[in-house]
Amino acid sequence: MSAASNGQEPNPLLCAPGLELIPTWLTDIGALMNALEFNPLAGLRPAEMSKFDRVLQVDDLKRIFVPAPQPARVAQRMLRALYQGLRQRNPRLETVRRDLNALAQHLGKALTDLPWFPNQAVGIVLEGITGIGKSHIADRVLSLLPQVIVHEPKGDWGMHRLKQLIWLKVPMPADHSRKGLLINCIKEIDRALGTNYEAQHVKTTVRVEFLIVTVMYILAQHRCGLLVIEESQAENLGSRVFSRDFLNYFLRILNWGIPVMLIGNPLAFEQLRLHAQDVDRFSEGGWFTMLPAFGPDAPIWRDIWMPRLWGPSLMDKPDAAFEALPSYPAITSWDQLIWRFTGGLPRLVCRLRIETLDDALSNDIEVITTSVVASVFEKSPAFTASRERIKALATHDFENLWRYKDLPVSQLRMYWTPKAEQKTPDIATEQTTPRTPSPPPAASPSRQSKRAGEASPRSKLCRDISEATEVNASKRKAR
């Protein structure tokens, strides 16, 4: 993939330092996975470190990144959307400069007064429950790229200086408001570019419809390569998250040639799923649903998460061989034990490993055993508020999972129940057209109480109709 667009002049937005490896990552998934992988404990020699230094180093495990197949696919789609978006906005092209000047003419107008342009960037959706690692994926991908690149064309491209905004990640506001989101956008732009747009454009009297156009123009002017919107507040869950008002705004940004990635809990996308056209637009770059591993025997858990998330250590000796625990008699392996204490969520695996290493180093424990891990899980304040939820996730206990308002239990039921008798799935399923699953209808008490072999009135009616049909058919043949 060349920085030149269809044989045209080389695109300076793509030739900038820090972006030269994107073509390699898009064509070689192995090279991308190598770039993504990060283990903050790799290369350390615990025997040469003081105990205090090791204790301090333990918290760095929060930054570990394991490029499993699904995260790697998400990363490729993010990079592809960014690259293609910049590729279509080559500032050397007169048509591109003319389009940007046309956008400037709409400043001071309301969003509803803006025309729709023929250019269209792609949208991406990444959904998953808390702890699955969706935000961690986006952060790791963006960390491979510079956020800002300064160009000095000295009059070329119709400008003397350009601060190119490669990417921008913005949290959804806790108050659900569009104005709150726009202010967050401007604050993040100012932080990245060192500009002062907030003081210039955010006034108490400014109307949202006009502020939207201003933010869109600023993003276009600085050639933003990818806008990432993250629904990160528990309070956001509800009908107003990614509602029609928000979606119309994001669609306009796509129409201005800026790719948009939405990250959130599956419940946050209920409004989006109700509109087929919106689903098509936002899933063009990929709709990814991150789900926990199906169980402790799943290959993704056994071969990737356990050795690469649980394996890193700062101890002098390796973990002890598995030893059965009286309080968990059914558990027979390390894979099963860590599954039971984390519910299959990667973030909780890291948390349990950090807490275990910290406990062992602080209490002069030489070897980490199953009893040490069990004690940490049962006593650590880091798990006080989540033990019951973890147990429900680990055991697929739908009755208890329904207690949590931010868990997409219907989706989890659809994922766990029918596939329990099929092959073990991967940690995540990529969906082209997402569905909103609903729990199967419960059997009525009257049906449950029927004796075996007793036919229902409906089945009797069907049988009588069938017999009558056969009789009439035989009479017609006799004639």
Span 198-216, pLDDT tens digits: 999 998 888 888 899 999 9
How much is the pLDDT for 248? 82
Give dist(CA 406, CA 464) in Å, integer.
Answer: 49
**349-366 burial string, b = 16+ CB within 10 Å, else e?**
bbbbbbbbbbbbbeeeee
Reduced to 3 states (helix: H, G, I; strand: E, B; else coil), residue 412 is: helix
Neighbour order of strands in the sheet with 227-230: 168-171, 227-230, 260-264, 123-128, 287-290, 428-431
Give dist(CA 215, CA 230) in Å, integer.
Answer: 17
Give dist(CA 370, CA 47) in Å, integer.
Answer: 23
Q: 254: which residues sit within 8 A by CB, 6+ positions away?
A: 120, 121, 122, 123, 260, 281
Q: Name the one residue in this structure whose structure tokens are 């490896």.
A: 21
Over residues 47-64, the mean pLDDT reads 94
Residue 297 has pLDDT above 90, yes or no: yes
Instruction: Report residue 374 as tokens.
Output: 């069990």
Q: At what angle do helices 387-394 and 334-342 cross, to 10 degrees?
A: 130
CATH superfamily membership of 12-36+68-290: P-loop containing nucleotide triphosphate hydrolases (3.40.50.300)
Range list for CATH 3.40.50.300 in the chain: 12-36+68-290
pTM (2 d.p.): 0.82
Paired with 124 in beta bridges are 261
Per-residue HEC secondary structure of 108-122 comes to CCCHHHCCCCCCCCC
Residue 295 has pLDDT above 80, yes or no: yes
Q: For 291-343, give the DSSP string.
A: ---SSTTSHIIIIIIIIIII----SSSPPPPP--BTTBTT--SHHHHHHHHHT
Instruction: Report residue 337 as tokens.
Output: 């034990």
Answer yes or no: are the C-beta atoms of 312 and 39 closer than 8 Å.
yes
Answer yes or no: are the C-beta atoms of 430 and 124 closer than 8 Å.
no
Reduced to 3 states (helix: H, G, I; strand: E, B; else coil), residue 431 is: strand
Confidence of residue 427 (pLDDT cuts 50, 70, 90): very low
How much is the pLDDT for 4? 54
Dihedrals φ, ψ of 252, to 5°? -65, -40
**β-pairing verdict for 148-151 and 123-128:** unpaired
Amino acid (1-letter code) at residue 472: N
Instruction: Report residue 114 as tokens.
Output: 């803006």
Confidence of residue 452 (pLDDT cuts 50, 70, 90): very low
How much is the pLDDT for 243? 65
Residue 411 has pLDDT above 50, yes or no: yes
Q: 409: which residues sit within 8 A by CB, 6+ positions away?
A: 398, 401, 402, 439
Over residues 29-40, the mean pLDDT reads 97
Give dist(CA 181, CA 204) in Å, integer.
Answer: 15
Residue 116 sits at the vertex; the CA angle it makes with 164 and 171, to the nearest 5 degrees, is 50
Give dist(CA 236, CA 217) in Å, integer.
Answer: 27
Residue 411 sits at the vertex; the CA angle it makes with 410 and 415, to the nearest 5 degrees, is 115
Instruction: Report residue 222 as tokens.
Output: 């600085």
How much is the pLDDT for 99? 81
**β-pairing verdict for 260-264 and 227-230:** parallel
Residue 340 has pLDDT above 50, yes or no: yes
Q: What is the pLDDT of residues 78-114, one digit of tens each?
A: 999 999 999 988 888 888 888 888 778 878 877 778 7
**226 vs 153, residue with greater confidence:** 226
Give dist(CA 122, CA 118) in Å, integer.
Answer: 13
Q: Tell me how far the alpha carbon of residue 211 is from its chain's centroid.
A: 28
Confidence of residue 400 (pLDDT cuts 50, 70, 90): very high
Reduced to 3 states (helix: H, G, I; strand: E, B; else coil), residue 227 is: strand
Range in 221-225, 227-231, 339-343, 449-453 the model is least confident about: 449-453
Give dist(CA 268, CA 236) in Å, integer.
Answer: 8
Dihedrals φ, ψ of 404, to 5°? -100, 120
Taking alpha carbons only, the member of 27, 28, 1, 31 closest to residue 14 is 1
How much is the pLDDT for 8? 61
